[in-house]
A and B are shown apart, each in its own frame.
Chain A
Amino acid sequence: MSPLRSANAPIAQGPILDLAQVEVRFPSARGTFAVVDRVDLSVAHGEVLGLVGESGCGKSMLARSIMGLVPPPGVTTGGTMLFNGVDMVGLSKDERRRLRGDRIAVVPQEPMTSLNPTLRIGDQLTEVLRAHRPTMSSDERRARALVVMEQVGIQFAEQRLSQYPHELSGGIRQRVMIAMALICGGVELLIADEPTTALDVTIQAQILELFMQLQSEQKMAVILITHDLAVIAQTAHRVAVMYAGNIVELAPVLDLFDVPRHPYTRGLLESMPRRGISASKTHLATISGSVPDPSNPPAGCRFFDRCQFAVKGTCDAENPALEQITEDRWVRCFRWRELPEFVLADAGAGS
């Protein structure tokens, strides 16, 4: 598969989104605990940033925090979230609402459950305009809906408008979700939360391709949340690896796949299915154990229990800081310099 990544490199001017020390906390019996722990992350204009990690690492919660929709009793505490230079943390609820669906949009994982089963497709599309473009007439809204539907490759758009979600196939539903994100025409940041996971494999490729085509046409920044590294390899410019609420590695996509610095990233790459694995009868590697309970994080490195390179006394003493190791690479590991060279078990790895 050829990379779908847009050729135009991210535009260099200041970032569209700049997160500093963002934290999402939930109350517990013993005070509070962080699900997203002091995350620093920026996304450039027109950049596709891959956000990877296992389930429960805080990827989706970080996305909700950016949207201003952390589910109660959770709260975004501390930190700054600059969107185009404006700190969203200081905005009123209504100002946050105005950004959502207009300048920052989301394409969800499950198009079926994300569409309201009792409302027509047309209504669910045009209500975004009703919320953000109150001066548009209903005819204009309808016309705009037809335009975006065509743009995302929905056939018989006119007819689809009066249909209900259950009458559409999974692929078309996801196209509707994408149309919903684009309908206002001003989206600058798109958060795609596992947008292809719930789809058939054949449809996945189509949707991904559509995604990247729209991304390069519209020059929007995309945060692509996924645990599918193959998808990341094809689409992202840079990758942030999250583990237990921390960002543990941040690197340009090719560098990350070539020379992963964090043991967790290495583990993820090793457990990726690839050509030749079954032929050579080697088992696909796994990372043993599971993500630590965020309400009771270990004192040292959060990956300590599962890390094959962990050293007692160093790694379990304190959580390492996210260290800048080159101009565009960061890693959160005490031992990144000492790790053996990374070699995947079989040829034909990655994309």
Chain B
Amino acid sequence: MLRYTLRRVLEFIPTIFIAVTLIFVITRLVPGSPITALIGNQSVDAAKIDAMAQQLGLDRPVWEQYIEWLPRVVTGNFGQSMFFSAPVVDVILDRFPVTFSLTFLALIVTIAIGIPIGILSAMRRGGIFDYFGNVLSSLGMALPPFWLGFMLMLVFAVGLQWVPASGYRPIEFGFWNWFSRLLLPVAALSVSQIGLVVRMTRSTMIEVLGTEYVGMARTKGLRERTVILKHALRNAMIQIVTVIGLVFALGLGGSVIIENVFALPGLGELITTAAVRRDYPTLEGGIFYLTLVALAINLVVDLAYAYFNPRIRYS
């Protein structure tokens, strides 16, 4: 297991290299420059613009910028943010807990609701529970999260006034202060994820319930609960875990929109603002850290996959 983990981690090196290069290329390909964004509507003479470009290192050829940039970035140093006049790393670490709270809570909710509903639907295939599960999961997947976010906000924050409509409080301000502001964004983000997990769990479980080893487990006189949870679910988890990893990666993308809807000062919100302002270092740093999180999730998925599937572990 240790060797397997090590191998997986080593495989990240080329992935990170490619990701970082892509980030650099894409940010440079976007039309416009940070200087026009910085000066805004002020009239500034050409000498000043040249000076700014020199200061930001934008006067040199792109490949030189890349060669100078790459070794710094690999060590996690993205330099100063052009707008926040603070190191990019600090800006990101400041925002990270928000995005982490949002996506992680959404993931927990998704797993806690999606997997049991999927299992029950599979066990009662064709029944009334399965029917409603099917309808609701399709509906959940079809609703755009941003629209759902606004609707939830209208009903529960504006109408019923149960929770605040937007904003964020760190958990140090008290659990409820933190949690109440995350309830709606988490709900908006998890509904479509739940739909996906229910469908995947259901179809995988139906497949596994039809296998001979599940039949054999019944033939051995095991209790139905043991048959389902130990024999069937364990095998189904191999595939479900993969989907959960995918769902989390999608959730990271979805969080960008949700953070903007609910005015949550997270990484997604930071990245969109940085993109508008052409704040290259912040943009690059933000995407880089999201990539790292996605890779970390991939690692967790791979390890979970190996945990559930001994044939992988020993090959």
Contact = CB atoms under 8 A, between A and B. Distances in A.
A119 B218 contact: no
Interface in B49-90: none
Given A69-B218, A119-B234, A113 B311 contact: no
Contact of A118 (B216, B309, B314): B309
Nearest to A177: B216
B159 interface: no
Nearest to B232: A116
Given A131-B226, A164-B311, A166-B311, A67 B216 contact: no
A214 B212 CA distance: 25
B219 A116 contact: no
Nearest to B231: A116
B212 A127 contact: no
Contact of A115 (B216, B219, B223, B238): B216
B222 A127 contact: yes
A249 interface: no
B159 to A, nearest CB: 46
A118 B235 contact: yes
Contacts of B309: 117-118
Interface residues of A, number: 27
Given A110-B212, A166-B311, A116 B217 contact: yes
B308 A127 contact: no
Interface in B211-261: 211-213, 215-223, 226, 230-231, 234-235, 238
B273 to A, nearest CB: 46
Nearest to B216: A114
B217 to A, nearest CB: 7
A164 B235 CA distance: 14
A100 interface: yes
A114 B213 contact: yes
Interface in A46-87: 67, 69
A108 interface: yes
A167 B231 CA distance: 19
B219 A100 contact: yes
Nearest to A113: B212
Contacts of A116: 213, 216-217, 231, 234-235
B40 interface: no
B213 A98 contact: no
Nearest to B234: A118
A180 B216 CA distance: 10
A128 interface: yes
A16 B147 CA distance: 67
Contacts of B211: 113
A106 interface: yes
Contacts of A131: 220-223, 226
A98 B223 CA distance: 9
A101 B222 contact: yes
Contact of B223 (A97, A119, A164, A167): A97
A128 B235 contact: no
Contacts of B31: none
B241 to A, nearest CB: 12
A100 B226 CA distance: 15
Contacts of B234: 116, 118-119
A118 B220 contact: no
A184 to B, nearest CB: 9
Contacts of B217: 116
A194 interface: no
Nearest to B125: A72
A117 B215 contact: no
Contact of B310 (A99, A127, A164, A180): A164
B221 A100 contact: yes
B9 to A, nearest CB: 24
* Candidate in B221, B226, B310 with the most chain A CB atoms within 10 angstroms: B221
Nearest to B212: A113
A100 B216 contact: no
B122 to A, nearest CB: 13
Contacts of B216: 106, 108, 114-116
Q: Which 7 pairs from chain A and chain B are nearest by CB?
A: A101-B221, A100-B221, A101-B220, A113-B212, A114-B216, A116-B213, A164-B310
17 contacts: A67-B219, A69-B215, A97-B223, A101-B220, A106-B216, A108-B219, A110-B212, A114-B213, A114-B216, A116-B231, A116-B235, A118-B309, A119-B230, A127-B226, A127-B230, A131-B223, A166-B311
Given A114-B213, A119-B231, 15 more contacts: A99-B221, A100-B220, A101-B221, A101-B222, A110-B212, A114-B212, A116-B231, A116-B235, A117-B310, A119-B234, A127-B220, A128-B221, A164-B311, A166-B311, A167-B314
Interface of A: 67, 69, 97-102, 105-106, 108, 110, 113-119, 127-128, 131-132, 164, 166-167, 180
